[in-house]
Structure 1
Amino acid sequence: MVAIRVAGVTLTLMAVHAHPDDEATGTGGVFAKAVSEGIRTVLVTCTDGRCGDGPGGVKPGDAAHDAEAVVKVRAGELERSAKVLGLEVVEQLGYHDSGMMGWDTNTLPGAFWNTPVAEAAARLADLMRTHRPDVVVTYDANGVYGHPDHIQAHRITMAAVELLAGEPWQPSKVYWSSPPYSQMKMWGDLTREFGTEAEKAEMATMEAGMNAALARGDRLPMGLPDEELTTWVDVKAWNQQKFDALSAHASQSDSAQMLALGVERFGAMMGVETFQLVGAALGATRETDLFEGLER
């Protein structure tokens, strides 16, 4: 992909995420880093997060779960997170959160997973034409861990990029955000050191399954092999911002679990953000920055 760049125009980073809070976990560091370097930042959030936790941790499916109230809470959290990271533009596609794979919410009207890829991709392509990102980030093909909205975000991003093929402006680089397999081991180590007995037992079961899968030569259900990740960005210098951005999403139990690590352990675990450069020869590319090779 080769973009026609106008001299003096600021570089732009666009990340396409599924839910409010996703921007903080996988790209909070690269967003904060980009802002500090004068790079324009654009976040596209595809869903409204309605299948997230309600007040008091009430889960979807519980009679007390108020989806519309959750939407309002999560919109406010997203706004606060964006301010912490210093994001210039936040675009929301407004699709309904689809919930986890296999939930009844997957097929409801308005659900992101139930939306034709071509329809959502056309909207995203229009945003790309408007903002002209030099670098686009989304998830790997499995949506990191198989979440339908993450998979759909991957699909519409790649389809949107295809729609731009042959146009005067195209992204110069497209990345898939995904954790390395080695990070799974780090989670295990942290759980053994700081987790409850129930969490340790759950992790032991999970690790046994992962080890068996690797022994068979299978892919793990989350992340990518370390050697397939082309780009490892050290974002420890922006750890406090990333932690604070995630803190803005405190209504969600997944966020609370990571925040419970504390700032220092969070930085040790989440201080390097990893990506696969689309189209790169795996094993031949090793970058430390998403904008490597682009004119500043």
Structure 2
Amino acid sequence: MSTIVFLHAHPDDETSQTAGMMALAARAGHRVVTVFATDGDHGERPEHLGPEGDLVDHRRGEARAAAAVLGVDRIDWLGYRDSGMTGWAQNDDPLCLHRADVDEAAARVARILDREDADYLVGYDDHGNYGHPDHIAVHRTARRAAQLAARRPRLLEATTNRDAQLAMLDSPEAAEFLRALASGGMELDVERVRAAILTGDDGQPVGMPESEIAWAIDLPEDVVALKRRAMRCHASQTSDIGMMLALPPEVYAVAFGTEYLVEPGVEQSMRRGWPFD
């Protein structure tokens, strides 16, 4: 059995991007470790916490609950502050991940990799999927950490399939998707969604074209349900997680039922299968 370390930017990112493969890996007997680079302190504050409640502690509790659902063996925290979205004042916080020295951050991850004798490290694609400063920092940190680790783990990078997302907009599920969002108070049309895919947080397209993706992992129905259950653990984040959970199960399965990985240094030709030995 292998040890797989997943490096994520914020608590809740794991449930939208890699929860299915994490659950499948745990089910197969692999050791699964999740590392969160930031504490998510700029996330949404649930009403019951009030202005003085500890949001970081609350989000850590949500992460622990999601980990239990997925079968994660251990959670580690790098301790950086959330950098906020592109252009936010928080980008300039000297303690945020966006401002962290890459070698310093990578050394923290490498120590975890060495402790775990990790076989695999899963980071993010070079755009962090949608251009969030913390996600791009995770990409750089993971690549450097894989080099610094004593036993260099095989590096894989989570992404989304831009071609599949754009194709979905022309499918019957797209109308159902938009109706579900409207019922949650978010009025969107196909062209606005298309524009959002083509211009992420930093103005660059979301995800990767299929020609640059190495692996597509199709999730069984029960694992899709587990992924949704884990996502529900992060219910405090109503804008993102709430929007995803508003989708009817059949639409959710289309949107989140396949997870994608890039493999740096390997000629990309998308295979449907399982990359972990």
Same fold (TM over 0.5): yes
Q: Kindly report the root-mean-square deviation, in angstroms, between the aligned alpha carbons of the 2 structures.
A: 2.4
Shift of 1:200: 4.7
Correspondent of 2:219 among 235, 238, 242 = 235
Distance in 2 separating the partners of 1:90 and 1:80: 11
* CA distance 1:262–1:72, shift in 2 (3 Å): farther
Query: Is 1:125 the counterpart of 2:110 in the alignment?
Result: yes
SS in 2 for 1:145: coil
* CA distance 1:142–1:65, shift in 2 (3 Å): farther
Residue 176 of structure 1 is matched in structure 2 by: 157
Correspondent of 1:25 among 13, 16, 20 = 16
Shift of 1:202: 5.5
SS in 2 for 1:98: coil
Instruction: State the Cα deviation string for residues 174-205 of structure 1 (Å, max 9, x = none).
Output: 11111101124436714344332974545523
Residue 248 of structure 1 is matched in structure 2 by: 233
Shift of 1:261: 1.0
Instruction: State the Cα deviation string for residues 29-77 of structure 1 (Å, max 9, x = none).
Output: 000000110011010111000110012499xxxxx866x6221211110
Given that 2:181 and 2:243 are in contact with CA atoms closer than 8 Å, whether structure 1 keeps it comes out as: no
Distance in 2 separating the partners of 1:185 and 1:241: 26
TM-score, normalising length: structure 2 = 0.88
Distance in 2 separating the partners of 1:44 and 1:208: 32
Percent identical = 33
Instruction: State the Cα deviation string for residues 95-139 of structure 1 (Å, max 9, x = none).
Output: 111110111111113111111111111111111111122121111
Residue 80 of structure 1 is matched in structure 2 by: 65
Written as runs of structure 1 = structure 2, the 5 A alignment for 1:70-219 is 70-164=55-149, 167=150, 169-171=151-153, 173-181=154-162, 182-186=164-168, 189=174, 190-196=176-182, 199-201=186-188, 203-208=190-195
Given that 1:80 and 1:245 are in contact with CA atoms closer than 8 Å, whether structure 2 keeps it comes out as: yes
TM-score, normalising length: structure 1 = 0.82
Query: Is 1:11 the counterpart of 2:31 in the alignment?
Result: no
Tell me which amino acid in the other structure corresponds to 2:155. V
SS in 2 for 1:162: helix
Tell me which amino acid in the other structure corresponds to 1:100. M
Tell me which amino acid in the other structure corresponds to 2:12. D
* CA distance 1:99–1:202, shift in 2 (3 Å): farther
Moved more, 250-259 or 181-190: 181-190
The higher radius of gyration belongs to: 1
Unaligned runs of 5+ in 2: none
SS in 2 for 1:273: strand
Given that 1:230 and 1:277 are in contact with CA atoms closer than 8 Å, whether structure 2 keeps it comes out as: yes
Residue 274 of structure 1 is matched in structure 2 by: 260
Distance in 1 separating the partners of 2:61 and 2:196: 38
Tell me which amino acid in the other structure corresponds to 2:92. T
Q: How many residues align?
A: 266
Shift of 1:91: 0.7
Unaligned runs of 5+ in 1: 1-9, 59-63, 214-218
Query: Is 1:69 the counterpart of 2:54 in the alignment?
Result: yes
